Amino acid sequence: MPITTDSGLSGEEEVKWRCLPTYGIALTVIGVVLLDCCCDACQSPCRTYLLDVSQPEDHAAGLATFTVMAGLGGSVGYLLGGVVDWQTTGLGSSLGGHVQVRLYILCCSVVHC
């Protein structure tokens, strides 16, 4: 009979289970670094295009607007995606889940803007 621990798993299963968070953390760190590099790679051509199509006297205002909108987008995206548990809100129960709420808010913001 295999030896079980307090968690109800055998010794070998518990070792495998304890190793999984390490792989998950490493994969998350690599994903965040790659995503950050992709975002940085996309912003440079966008700024260059903005400078190419605008008048020289409008460069400062255009770049400031670009920076504010990028920061606002990152903040709103973080708020919609991970901070608020939409499933437990009234909107989440009426629309059927957190994914539907996020899509509804995004669609409303696109239509409104």
Q: Where are the domains of the chain?
A: 1-53, 67-113
Residue 38 one-letter amino acid: C
| pLDDT tens for the chain, residues 1 to 113 | 455 455 555 555 555 556 567 788 888 889 888 888 887 788 888 899 999 999 999 999 999 999 999 888 888 888 877 788 888 888 888 988 888 888 888 899 889 87
* d(C-alpha 4, C-alpha 28), whole Å: 31
Residues near 14 by beta carbon (within 8 Å), at least 6 away in sequence = 5, 7
Taking the complete model, does pTM exceed 0.95, yes or no? no
